Amino acid sequence: MAEFNNVGQSGLSYVDQLKSLQDSKKPDEVTGKQDLKQEDFLSLLTKQLAQQDPFKPVSNDQMIAQMASFATVDGIGKMNTQFESLNSSMTSNQALQASSLVGRDVLVPGAAGMKADGQAMSAMVKLPQSVDNLFVRIENEAGQLLRTFDAGAKSTGDNKVTWDGLDDNGNPLPEGRYKVRASGLLDGENREFEVSTYANVNSVLLGKGDGNVLLNLAGFESPVRLAEVLEVGKA
């Protein structure tokens, strides 16, 4: 049985020598990556056999253990490839399912939302506890206050509020992005509450190889991840 003790590297195991070979590889050699391939293992094995010490042969158990290490590394590489393929397949399937959202309204985190011309605008306010009066403020993108109204008593949890699209003088405001702010008294102190707004889905696209599915929303400059959607409106 041949011994796997390379000249100048006596005492190193098969796996140790593989690690040494991988560390010595430069990114621009062979594949452009610092990864060992099957050819590298076979090349190292051939050199070890050629430089063996016939007076100190290794046992069968050691030989099998070293070959098992090679098989394990090769198997891990194949498994990683399979996982990448599975991830790509799952992302494509998720995108296909998300395509049914096109044209529908979804609820996403954030106070800014899009109001269509001549239509009302809805938002969701999360309350840590019930309030007797929930005050809603509507601002334009510059932060200018346009409308204030009392949405009445609201209970703990998510509460939907709707703005009719009019300013304080009863004049309809044009289509565009507006911010919805909500506040109320909790334990005698005025508190601002978390607000989410609805937006219409224009299209669905895949992320940049990261497995994310993105939604292009009306009035939003950047796409929103599907995972961020809190609620899907009725078709």
Q: Rounded mean pLDDT of 104-109?
A: 90
Range from 101-105, 133-137, 185-189 that averages highest in pLDDT? 133-137
Contact present, 174 and 119 (Cβ < 8 Å): no
20-52 as b/e: b if 16+ CB within 10 A: eeeeeeeeeeeeeeeebeeebbeebbeebeeeb
Judged against a pLDDT cut of 70, whether residue 94 lies above it is answered with no
**What is the model's pLDDT at position 4?**
40
Question: Among the listed ranges 26-30, 35-39, 96-100, 153-157, which one has the minimum average pLDDT value?
Answer: 26-30
**Span 93-100, mean pLDDT?**
67
> Nearest-CA neighbor of 232 among 54, 83, 101, 67?
101
**In the structure, what pLDDT confidence band is assigned to residue 167 with cuts at 50, 70 and 90?**
very high
Name every residue whose Cβ is closer than 8 Å to that of residue 9 and which is 6 or more positions away in sequence: 17, 20
CA distances (Å), origin 62, targets 38, 42, 69, 158, 181: 20, 18, 11, 64, 71
**Cα dihedral value 103, 213, 227, 106, nearest 10:** -10
State mean pLDDT over 138-146.
92
Percentage above 70 pLDDT, the chain: 57
Q: Which of 17-21, 178-182, 214-218 has the lowest mean pLDDT?
A: 17-21
Q: What is the pLDDT of residues 58-79, one digit of tens each?
A: 555 665 666 666 667 666 767 7
- pLDDT over 50 at 5, yes or no: no
pLDDT of residue 205: 79
* Dist CA 111 CA 123 (whole Å): 8
- Give yes or no for a contact between 215 and 101, defined as CB atoms under 8 angstroms apart: yes
pLDDT of amino acid 150: 94
Q: How far apart are CA 29 and CA 38, in angstroms?
A: 15
Q: What average pLDDT does this structure show over 8-13?
A: 46
Q: What per-residue confidence (pLDDT) applies to 30?
A: 46
- What pLDDT score was predicted for residue 11? 45
Please determine, for residue 114, whether its predicted confidence score (pLDDT) is greater than 50.
yes
Query: CB–CB of 123/196 below 8 Å?
Result: yes
**E strand map for 97-212:** 105-109, 112-115, 121-127, 135-140, 145-150, 157-163, 176-186, 189-192, 194-206
DSSP 173: P
pLDDT at 96 over 90: no
Q: What is the pLDDT of residues 205-219, one digit of tens each?
A: 766 555 678 888 988
pLDDT-based confidence at residue 46 (cuts at 50, 70, 90): low
